[in-house]
């Protein structure tokens, strides 16, 4: 057999060829081990962006990423396991409500989550606004909490799909994030290695999504459902709207506060609607018969939230951090709020300190944006539209610049946009 080398792998994909299983495994194993350098893998990633992957290539690529590390064994957990993953958005705090809600319905929810990057928020960053709460748990703790509490939100261990960790960081600095095969394999390799038996995917479409066109969202959803089902994970995807922010808060501590509001029986209607839609899909896949609407209304999900936070060292009664500075952005006309660009709001929150440009950057738990109106609302000139929150007033001008052109007020309300566009299953 001819010895494999990285240059031949790059050339094959560059020229539109199909990589063999041996080439893919050689590349993933070598990059994970450090024997193939960043520059060669960068070249291959860019070739994949332009040339794509066949279903067979993608299946092997994903399998090799899973096999690069350990797999979490959840076989001892007596409850049925089900997880949810969102492709990222602005104000998307559904995980904070979903995990305790679905756990209160009787399933075990292993939410191995990530951190925010750019205009999208990260679940771990949000929860770390709670004093004492810790994101790092070892595998034994995860299994124990799934059995005793029923829900856990934590960081993935270093040993889980380490190839993805290296590839994700490289994609972020080489302009190769927006590739459906690379996004799908990154998400699904971690979720399959996590060991969950079922998975609901929330695939975002609209201005705040990584892939705004719905056609791309649909292709990504179908690709991920296929990978999940092919690996024995029951998988369903909902394509949901991210043309404007979800709920009325974008940031870290402010999103925790809004999630607690929903668990307490209040909160924005769009956040409640999407949370219940996802919860029903999760319960159906897990074979749980309780109605999430009834469980939420009963207060049992709030009880579960408090139990989960305490189990990871947090104090559910502690006050959340408050920003030292605020700036209100007001309407310059009377009419209907027709557009509030989600990506612009996310970028504003990021510039206020709620997000990061690089994975190692710190984030502010108190920074963010509060929405004082949503598209479709009738407003008068001078009425508050957004409130910008930060500890550093020097950040406010950059946040205001991010919002230029993001708001449209007109005489007619905007066209109706459904919150859930489509459901995709095998």
Residues annotated as part of the active site? 85, 164, 171, 186, 190
Q: C-alpha angle 32/199/44, rounded to 5°?
A: 30
User: How do beta strands 407-410 and 335-340 pair?
Assistant: antiparallel
Q: What is the DSSP letter of 209?
A: S
Work out the angle between the directed axes of helices 180-194 and 162-174 (0-180°, nearest 10). Answer: 150
- How far is 191 from 239, CA to CA, in rounded Å? 18
What is the C-alpha R_g of the chain? 22
82-86 β-sheet, strand order: 82-86, 198-205, 234-241, 420-425
* Widest CA span in the chain: 74
- How far is 410 from 396, CA to CA, in rounded Å? 26
First to last CA, the chain: 38
- How far is 61 from 13, CA to CA, in rounded Å? 13
Cα separations (Å) of 412 from 178, 207, 246, 373, 408? 35, 21, 22, 15, 11
387, 207 contact by CB (below 8 A): no
């Amino acid at each position: 057999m001819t010895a494999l080398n990285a240059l031949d792998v790059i050339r094959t994909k560059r020229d539109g060829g199909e990589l063999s299983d041996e080439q893919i495994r050689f590349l993933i194993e070598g990059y994970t081990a450090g024997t193939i350098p960043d520059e060669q893998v960068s070249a291959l990633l860019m070739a994949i962006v332009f040339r794509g992957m066949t279903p067979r290539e993608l299946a092997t690529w994903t399998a090799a990423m899973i096999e690069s590390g350990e797999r979490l064994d959840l076989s001892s957990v007596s409850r049925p396991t089900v997880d949810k993953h969102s492709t990222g958005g602005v104000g998307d705090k559904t995980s904070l409500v979903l995990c305790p809600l679905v756990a209160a319905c009787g399933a075990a929810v292993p939410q191995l989550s990530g951190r925010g990057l750019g205009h999208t928020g990260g679940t771990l960053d949000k929860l770390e606004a709670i004093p004492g709460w810790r994101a790092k748990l070892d595998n034994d703790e995860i299994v124990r909490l799934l059995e005793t509490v029923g829900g856990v939100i934590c960081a993935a261990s270093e040993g889980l799909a380490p190839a993805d960790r290296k590839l994700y960081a490289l994609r972020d600095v080489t302009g190769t994030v927006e590739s459906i095969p690379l996004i799908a394999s990154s998400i699904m390799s971690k979720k399959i290695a996590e060991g969950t038996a079922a998975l609901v995917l929330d695939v975002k479409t609209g201005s705040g999504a990584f892939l705004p066109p719905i056609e791309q969202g649909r292709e990504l959803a179908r690709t991920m459902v296929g990978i999940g089902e092919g690996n024995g994970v029951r998988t369903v995807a909902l394509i949901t709207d991210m043309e404007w922010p979800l709920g009325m808060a974008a940031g870290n501590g402010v999103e925790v506060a809004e999630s607690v509001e929903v668990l307490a029986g209040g909160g924005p209607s769009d956040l409640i609607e999407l949370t219940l839609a996802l919860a029903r899909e999760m319960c159906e896949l897990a074979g749980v018969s309780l109605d999430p609407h009834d469980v939420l209304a009963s207060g049992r999900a709030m009880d579960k939230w408090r139990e989960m936070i305490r189990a990871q060292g947090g104090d559910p009664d502690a006050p959340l951090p408050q920003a030292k500075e605020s700036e209100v952005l007001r309407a310059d006309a009377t009419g209907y709020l027709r557009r509030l660009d989600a990506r612009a709001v996310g970028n504003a929150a990021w510039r206020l300190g709620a997000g990061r440009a690089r994975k190692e950057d710190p984030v502010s738990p108190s920074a963010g944006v509060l929405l004082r109106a949503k598209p479709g609302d009738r407003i008068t000139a001078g009425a508050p539209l957004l409130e910008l929150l930060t500890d550093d007033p020097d950040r406010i001008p950059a946040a205001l610049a991010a919002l230029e052109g993001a708001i449209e007020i007109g005489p007619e309300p905007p066209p109706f946009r459904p919150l859930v566009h489509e459901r995709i299953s095998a």
